[in-house]
Amino acid sequence: MAGMTATGHRRADVAAPTSIWDFPEHGSRGPKPRHNRAAIAALAVRIADAECLEAVTMRRLAGELGIAVMSLYNYVPAKEHLAQLMTDQLAGEYAYPVTPPPDPRAAIADLAGQTRDIARRHPWLAGLLHPPMPPGPNGLRYLDYSLGLLAGSRLGTGARLEIITMIRGFATMYGAMQAAPASTSEQTTAQVQALTRAAAQGRYPNLAAALAVAGPPRRHDDIFRSGIERLIETARLRLRRLTRSNVGCGPRRKAGCET
């Protein structure tokens, strides 16, 4: 039967808790640890940036740290926990205003821009979006700030979380796309040419009609900004519908009124 490590953590062959933050960082037994989670996460991020996400293995990290692989499990009980640490490390790159922003809509757009920039710097981040993982301290700060930007709305908690997830997911994927080695202008040209050829076949009348009135190609930064604006506007449209449907909702809320 599998046992425990010297610091009291479970070994990797034992079912690990969902979140690494369920573990204390240091065990109560054994010598003082030589490393910490922050340093391990930073090292993992550097390797992924310099090479790729697949290069980040427990054996590679242990070698870089000068410790045995099993000793690394004292700090990071499982590979899934390493992904959590790396994701939270990047979430620490956000910059937040000291005082509440006067324009939540502009603040949401700014946060989305920061997300895109983080993904540009670390394009492998998109590979960690699925499956969803529990947030760490930095991720919780991002979530708390984002929820605060939507606090003035009458959207329910679920709707607000959906909006936050959609905007962050779009911005992350867009940033990773822009960081791709292939030229984005060449990719766009190839895509347009493929669509034009398909429309010319006569089998896709709606595509042909759309291309007939399409304007000149836009810069990727412009497309990103308009995409974020559309997501924000979607939230506003939903808010308007909720406001109209919730008219009359008071202390005794009508059935179906969203909170």
Q: Tell me the residue range of the domain where 190 lies.
A: 104-210+218-236
Rounded to whole angstroms, how far apart are CA atoms 146 and 111?
Answer: 8
Question: Three-state SS string across 12-74, please?
Answer: CCCCCCCCHHHCCCCCCCCCCCCCCHHHHHHHHHHHHHHCCHHHCCHHHHHHHHCCCHHHHCC
Domain boundary among 57, 90, 123: 90
Domain count of the fold of the chain? 2
Residues 79 and 145 in one domain: no
pTM value? 0.78
Identify the pLDDT of residue 251.
Answer: 44
Residues 232 and 112 in one domain: yes
Residues 80 and 123 in one domain: no
Angle, CA of 122, 130 and 138, to the nearest 5°: 55
Cα–Cα nearest to 123, from 191, 171, 155, 69 = 171
User: Could you tell me if residue 191 is inside a domain?
Assistant: yes
Residue pLDDT, tens place only, 24-35:
887 666 567 789
User: Could you tell me if residue 244 is inside a domain?
Assistant: no
DSSP percent split of the chain into helix, strand, coil, nearest 5: 60, 0, 40
Q: What is the pLDDT along the chain (259 residues), one digit of tens a residue?
A: 333 343 444 444 445 458 999 888 876 665 677 899 999 999 999 999 999 999 999 999 999 999 999 999 989 999 999 999 999 999 999 999 999 899 998 999 999 999 999 999 999 999 998 788 899 999 999 999 999 999 878 788 998 999 999 999 999 999 998 887 765 667 777 888 899 999 999 999 999 999 898 888 778 888 899 999 988 887 665 544 444 454 444 444 444 444 3
CATH code: domain of residue 156: 1.10.357.10
Residues 173 and 205 in one domain: yes
Residues 70 and 125 in one domain: no
Residues 86 and 197 in one domain: no
Identify the pLDDT of residue 52.
Answer: 94
Identify the pLDDT of residue 2.
Answer: 38
Identify the pLDDT of residue 10.
Answer: 44
Residues 84 and 108 in one domain: no
Identify the pLDDT of residue 185.
Answer: 64
CA gyration radius for the chain? 23
